[in-house]
């Protein structure tokens, strides 16, 4: 079969899954007074359509910021405005100022779901398809199966089309950025990334690798000649794109934990009540220091040796560091790590699949709250079977397949059990999948004991956190030892 028909089938399959998930419940359905993200998005449409642009971000008599105030950068606001315009054409009640608060109906749900669907179809999906087509040294089949696995990633589908958010827009723009960089269109790439940043400030997780990669590229060209020119151009692009869509916004320092998030602070709080030990200011400094330290090695490496492969891997490790160590993290932020992981799914299929499964699992408490258990179970199983079928992940667990060859070579003198390595990795994977499965079933079916009402959410987040730490170490090892390897190769040649 031809490539285009396989790709078409992949896209259709992805769209079908998205739409079926969207038939389910959404966050805060029928839960006054605050409802959930669905109401937040609807409220933003109401605000942006009815109020002048200057009042969008300010507390006025018509705009109560305590009720889902607009707390995303301007591009989100423009998107809401656009949606509101369409909504007005269909049914003005949906966005009527004040009176539409908490509006819910089947046709409105259909409309909201369609807006997410369209945004996904226009921005995220084309980026994924083009990215997979641009993969080098891979067969058509591998390209198609990468596209299938990336598009079927349950986390993003469940959050966007189930829970209700527009992550696919910002992540899609970031993907466009990566795509352009891989074609050496640096200016276009940085512009695309600026759009992503201006859609959601959370994209800052990805900013360091972008910055380091482009900076490294400039260094490589020589900072006096072409490199400087490129740097100036890049800076100009960034400033210009920000100027186009920027409006001031500010966020208050919120509590360190919004919910039971699978990051290190939350897991530690099981043992020590951090809140009681240190003040919020110290927490902020502490988390900043730890994040910075964990980022440093990979970022330096990327600046010194800018390569596309290194760039993708650094995207993963940086976002993961941010997610694990930074202040005030949402569990949905794991998507910012997952999408870069999707990009390397054809290089380290086993680890990528594992990570993507864990990341979906880490959002389980949220999904349960939204009543998305069934879509969660179904899409996760479908994703797992798609990955197993298209990458044969269980046969790719040797040190070489996991890109750990250089690392194992450097350790050979000390450790002798490397022969058993593939088996150990495989059984660890099976163990972790079983554990996740059991916990999912228990969270869904068993009532927690009265003494520990948060038993399941806490154990879900601790287990996910352990996994993420393990993955952080793994990705850092690949990145750092990869450079050594290439140096060795250079020496040999």
Partner 1 sequence: MCGLSAGARNGGRRLELELVPRPGARRLLPQVPPHPHVTFCSHSTDFEVHRNWLAITHNLPLSQWYYEATSEWTLDYPPFFAWFEYALSHIAKYFDPKMLVIENLNYTSPATIFFQRFSVIFTDLLFIYAVRECCRCVNGKRAAKDILEKPTFILAVLLMWNFGLLIVDHIHFQYNGFLFGLMLLSVARLCQKRYLEGALLFAVLLHFKHIYVYVAPAYGIYLLRSYCFTASNADGSAKWRSFSFLRITLLGLIVCLVSALSLGPFIVLGQLPQVISRLFPFKRGLCHAYWAPNFWALYSAVDKALTVIGLKYNFLDPTKIPKASMTGGLVQEFQHTVLPSVTPLATLICTFISILPSVFCLWFKPQGPRGFLQCLVLCALSSFMFGWHVHEKAILLAILPLSLLSVQRAKDAGIYLILTTTGHFSLFPLLFTAPELPIKILLMLLFSVYSFSSLKSLYRREKPLLNWLETIYLIHLVPLEIFCEIVFPLTPWKLRFPFVPLLLTSVYCAVGIMYAWLKLYISVLSERTSARQKAE
Binding site for partner 1 (CB under 8 A): 1-2, 5-6, 8-9, 12-13, 15-17, 19-21, 23-25, 29-31, 104-107, 109-110, 117, 371-375, 378, 381-382, 385-386, 389
Shortest gap between Cβ of 266 and partner 1 (angstroms)? Answer: 26
Closest to partner 1 by CB, 303 or 390:
390
**Residue number, 205 or 376, with CB nearest to partner 1:** 376
Please state the closest distance from residue 170 (CB atom) to partner 1, in A: 24
Q: Which is nearer to partner 1, 212 or 384 (CB)?
A: 384
Residue closer to partner 1 (CB basis): 293 or 374? 374
Rounded-to-integer distance, Cα 172 and Cα 194, Å: 12
In this complex, which beta carbon is closest to partner 1, that of residue 149 or of residue 215? Answer: 149
Q: How far is the CB of 109 from partner 1 (least distance, A)?
A: 8
Residue 205 to residue 479: CA distance in whole angstroms? 18
Report yes or no: 364 and 358 within 8 Å, Cβ to Cβ. Answer: no
Q: Least distance to partner 1 from the beta carbon of 17, Å?
A: 6
Nearer to partner 1 by Cβ, of 326 and 390: the residue is 390
Q: Which is nearer to partner 1, 154 or 209 (CB)?
A: 154
Give the shortest CB-368-to-partner 1 separation in angstroms: 10
Nearer to partner 1, 158 or 402 (CB): 158
Closest separation in Å from C-beta 35 to partner 1: 11
Query: Do 103 and 38 form a contact (C-beta atoms < 8 A)?
Result: no
Q: Report in angstroms how near the CB of residue 43 gets to partner 1 at its nearest.
A: 17
The minimum distance between CB 447 and partner 1, in angstroms, equals 14
Contacts of 401 (CB under 8 A, 6+ apart): 348, 350
Q: Based on CB atoms, which residue is closest to partner 1, 25 or 359?
A: 25
DSSP annotation of 159: I
SS3 393: helix
Taking the least distance from each CB to partner 1, the nearer of 2 and 137 is 2
Q: For residues 460 and 439, is the Cβ–Cβ distance under 8 A? A: yes
Helices and strands of the chain, counted as H and E runs: 22, 0
The Cα–Cα gap between 185 and 424 comes to 42
Q: Tell me how far, at minimum, the Cβ of 304 lies from partner 1, in Å.
A: 43
Check residue 448 and report its DSSP letter: P
Q: Classify the C-alpha dihedral 163-67-261-339 as positive or negative.
A: positive
Q: At what angle do helices 186-199 and 204-221 cross, to 10 degrees?
A: 160
DSSP label of 164: I
* CA 199-72-372 angle, 5° bins: 90
CB of 245 to partner 1, least distance (A): 31
Is 257 strand, coil or helix? strand
Nearer to partner 1, 375 or 406 (CB): 375
Question: Helices in 200-307 by DSSP H: which ranges?
Answer: 204-221, 226-245, 264-271, 274-277, 280-304
Q: Which of 90, 93, 98, 116 is nearest to 27 (CA)?
A: 116
CB 145 to partner 1: min, Å: 11
Compute the least distance from the CB of residue 428 to partner 1, in Å.
Answer: 24
Q: What are residue 269's phi and psi, to 5 degrees?
A: -65, -15
Residue with Cβ nearer partner 1 (25 or 326): 25
CB of 417 to partner 1, least distance (A): 34
Contact between residue 10 and residue 148 where contact means Cβ atoms under 8 Å apart? yes
Question: What is the Cα–Cα distance from 162 to 116, expressed in whole angstroms?
Answer: 10
Structure tokens that stand for 322 in this block:
């941010």
Minimum CB distance to partner 1 smaller for 61 or for 106: 106
DSSP state of 394: G
Give 91's contacts (C-beta < 8 A, 6+ positions apart). Answer: 107, 108, 111
Residues 6+ apart with CB under 8 A from 66: none
In whole angstroms, what is the distance from residue 393 CA to residue 265 CA?
32
* Greatest Cα-to-Cα distance within the chain, rounded to the nearest angstrom: 73
């Amino acid at each position: 079969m031809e490539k285009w028909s396989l790709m078409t089938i992949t896209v259709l399959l992805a769209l079908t899954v998205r739409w079926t998930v969207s038939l389910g419940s959404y966050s805060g359905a029928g839960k006054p007074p605050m409802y959930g993200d669905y109401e937040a998005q609807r409220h933003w449409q109401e605000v942006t359509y009815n109020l002048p642009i200057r009042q969008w971000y300010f507390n006025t008599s018509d705009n109560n910021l305590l009720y889902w105030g607009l707390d995303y950068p301007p591009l989100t606001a423009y998107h809401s405005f656009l949606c509101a315009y369409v909504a007005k054409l269909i049914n003005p009640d949906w966005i009527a100022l004040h009176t539409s608060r908490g509006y819910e109906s089947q046709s409105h749900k259909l409309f909201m779901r369609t807006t997410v669907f369209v945004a996904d179809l226009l921005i995220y999906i084309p980026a994924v398809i083009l990215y997979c087509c641009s993969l080098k040294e891979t067969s058509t089949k591998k390209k198609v199966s990468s596209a299938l696995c990336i598009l079927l990633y349950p986390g993003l589908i469940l959050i966007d089309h189930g829970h209700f958010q527009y992550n696919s827009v910002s992540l899609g723009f970031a993907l466009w950025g990566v795509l352009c960089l891989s074609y050496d269109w640096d200016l276009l790439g940085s512009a695309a990334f600026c759009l992503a940043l201006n859609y959601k400030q959370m994209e800052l997780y990805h900013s360091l690798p972008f910055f380091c990669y482009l900076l490294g590229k400039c260094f490589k060209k020589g900072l006096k000649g072409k490199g400087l020119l490129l740097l100036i151009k890049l800076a100009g692009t960034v400033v210009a794109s920000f100027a186009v869509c920027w409006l001031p916004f500010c966020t208050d320092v919120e509590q360190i934990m919004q919910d039971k998030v699978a990051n290190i602070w939350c897991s530690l709080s099981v043992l020590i009540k951090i809140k009681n030990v240190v003040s919020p200011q110290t927490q902020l400094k502490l988390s900043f220091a730890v994040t910075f330290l964990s980022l440093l090695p990979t970022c330096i490496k990327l600046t010194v040796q800018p390569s596309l492969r290194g760039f993708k891997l650094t995207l993963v490790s940086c976002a993961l560091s941010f997610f694990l160590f930074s202040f005030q993290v949402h569990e949905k932020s794991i998507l910012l790590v997952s999408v870069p992981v999707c990009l390397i799914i054809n290089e380290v299929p086993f680890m990528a699949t594992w990570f993507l499964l864990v990341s979906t699992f880490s959002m389980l408490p949220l999904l349960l709250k939204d009543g998305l258990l069934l879509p969660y179970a179904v899409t996760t199983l479908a994703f797992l079977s798609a990955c197993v079928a298209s990458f044969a992940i269980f046969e790719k667990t040797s040190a070489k397949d996991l890109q750990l060859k250089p690392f194992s070579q450097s350790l050979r003198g000390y450790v002798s059990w490397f022969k058993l390595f593939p088996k150990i990795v495989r059984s660890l994977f099976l163990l972790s999948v079983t554990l996740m499965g059991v916990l999912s079933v228990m969270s869904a079916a068993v009532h927690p004991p009265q003494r520990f009402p948060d038993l399941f959410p806490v154990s879900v987040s601790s287990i996910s956190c352990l996994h993420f730490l393990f993955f952080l170490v793994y990705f850092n090892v690949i990145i750092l030892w990869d450079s050594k390897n290439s140096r060795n190769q250079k020496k040999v040649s």
